[in-house]
Amino acid sequence: MKVELMSCTPCAEELCAMAANGCYSNKPSCDIVLNKDKIIKILKNAVSSGHLSVLEHAVFTFSVSGVSRSLTHQLVRHRLASFSQMSQRYVNMDDASYITPHTIDDTVCVKDFDTNISRMDLFEDAMTTAWCTYNSLIKSGVPEEDARYVLPNACTTNITITMNARELLHFFELRCCNRCYDSATEVLTKRGWIKFKDVNMNDEFYSLNPDTHNCEFAGVRCIIDEEYTGNMVMVDAQSVDLLITPNHKNYVSYSYDNKKFHLDSAENSMNHKMVLMKKNCVPIPGQTPDYILLPSVVREKNNQYATWQYEYPERNVDAIPLLRLLGMYLANGCCIQAGQHYNVCLSINAKDEDKIEFYKKVMEQVSDHKPQVIKPYKGAVTLKLHDSNLFMWLKPLGHAKEKRIPDFIWDLDHTLLVELFDGMCDGDANQSRTAYYTSSKEMADDMQRLLLHIGMSGKVTEIPPRSHKIPDGRMIKGGESYQVSINRSKNEPIIKTAKRNAFSNVLYDGRIHCVELDKNHTLYVRRHGKAVWSGNSQLEIREMADKMLVLCKERCPIIFENAGPKCRTTGCTEANPCGNPRV
């Protein structure tokens, strides 16, 4: 990428200062004489007070070359600018010149192809095919303006840009600054929900494909972490909570009847009468094993004469009943060791005879042993199953407030995860299954993640501790618990209407965070337990804007003194700064 300043209004800063001074003087602007100190004072006052119309008298023209047409498609959305782009109608494109994105590397693609082929080879094969087709069409007599239809967005192009100083300030505000979230926002990765400040370059993020609404996993190109003082946009609705920079792009639709979701800035969304956001995705596919392996267990046994090692061999268990049992265990189960007996126990309401029989049937499907029914205690029946393999498989998942869903679950297909979900709801959901309750914060987070996998969404709400009276009259304070509201159908909520507006401007002083993904540019984020799809920062056009800003500061340092980002960006390398594409 090459950016050059071709032309700038002579004495641009003096001209703008004279125009500003003329607004408050009875002299014509052309008769005003200003020294350097006066020019600095007038321009700083004009910029700080928002009197930016005086900057429209200074005009800058840039030449930008070696960029992709994908970049220029974003650029020409700035309407208060003039553009002259290299035309594919008249310029012969027989020379295969294209931009190779940062994510096209030597990683081998094996999932969707019969033969092993690297991403780079796959990409370059597509480029070669496109240009061979283009040249063949040209040779057959097809004009350039029609043959260009086969050329990709990766084509390099050149463009000339003219903007006045006021529009450049707006352009730098939108394009140089990162689009970020506040410090309270979390993002969903393969590690689970984490704060943005804790992400690293090895994380893989849940990302929504905007064309198919399938969830895909995306790598990170760059991590943004910066200080910010200024205006932020608050989105505070029943099911969405965001605090974002004004230029941040949300995944929105502006019509209830024609739900064409797309990325648009928060400040643009504030001007629309209706705004919808998206909270779910197409159910996530994955592995569909018929069986799940329970590892072998070696235990010490003894009697009055000797002590010896005994191994319970590994065994395969039908996946569906085992996942159902796993859900039941996470809801109402525990592991109890009594001497040489390793028991898995489930607790059920003594009055629910049908559920007791169903639980017994599921336990019999995953074990060769039959469960024992323990007499009711405080209105509950306990089913006890003596199974060492099952005990050792479930024991690491924690007890009560530390329970969690095991990591292997997230690789399974949504059709299997429904069994897990149903098992969890059997024990800890309300009757209508619109809310799930747990004392484990990690379990509440995992349930919200599970809902996304099966095509739904959820909201996590912390329930404050409650006190209760024990028989001796003392008040005992209970612990925190969590409710996960289950959204089966209301996954594209209306955030703004003519009568209800969830958007507002707030002042913010603190750190802001985001990442640049290698595809889709969408993230699954949450704030205060409310999850929604939203956008990420994008770097290619920012590289061009940064170079333009450097040139503007060299020519007009007073006007552009405070333009652009005041940030610290991490995760980039010297060889590939900020994940810039390779040419």
Nearest to 583 by CA among 46, 38, 14, 99: 99
State the Cα–Cα distance between residues 556 and 133, nearest whole angstrom: 47
Q: Collapsing DSSP states into helix, strand and coil, what is residue 479?
A: coil
Concerning whether 466 is annotated as a catalytic residue, the answer is no
CB atoms within 10 A of CB 307: 8
The answer to whether 216 touches 523, Cβ cutoff 8 Å, is no
Torsion of CA 354, 355, 357, 362, to 10 degrees: 140
DSSP for residue 284: P
Nearest to 38 by CA among 569, 558, 579: 558
State the Cα–Cα distance between residues 397 and 465, nearest whole angstrom: 24
Q: Which DSSP helix (H) or strand (E) runs through 241? A: strand 241-244
Q: Collapsing DSSP states into helix, strand and coil, what is residue 120?
A: helix
Q: Are strands 435-438 and 481-487 parallel, antiparallel or unpaired?
A: antiparallel
State the Cα–Cα distance between residues 456 and 436, nearest whole angstrom: 14
Long-range pairs for 108-117: beta carbons < 8 A, 24 or more residues apart: none
Q: What is the DSSP string of 383-442?
A: EEEE-HHHHHHHGGG-SGGG----GGGGGB-HHHHHHHHHHHHHHHB-TTSSEEEES-HH
Alpha-carbon radius of gyration of the chain? 31
State the Cα–Cα distance between residues 254 and 257, nearest whole angstrom: 9
State the Cα–Cα distance between residues 39 and 18, nearest whole angstrom: 8
The answer to whether 343 touches 385, Cβ cutoff 8 Å, is yes
DSSP for residue 257: S
State the Cα–Cα distance between residues 268 and 248, nearest whole angstrom: 10
- Amino acid identity of residue 536, one-letter, is N
Q: Which of 69, 148, 175, 179 is catalytic?
A: 175
State the Cα–Cα distance between residues 230 and 505, nearest whole angstrom: 10
Q: Please, what is the end-to-end C-alpha distance for the chain in angstroms? A: 8
Q: What is the DSSP string of 353-373?
A: HHHHHHHHHHHHHH-SSPPEE
Paired strand residues for 8: 60
The sign of the dihedral angle between the CA atoms of 19, 23, 29, 31 is: negative
Q: Are strands 186-189 and 181-182 parallel, antiparallel or unpaired?
A: unpaired
Residues designated as active site: 175
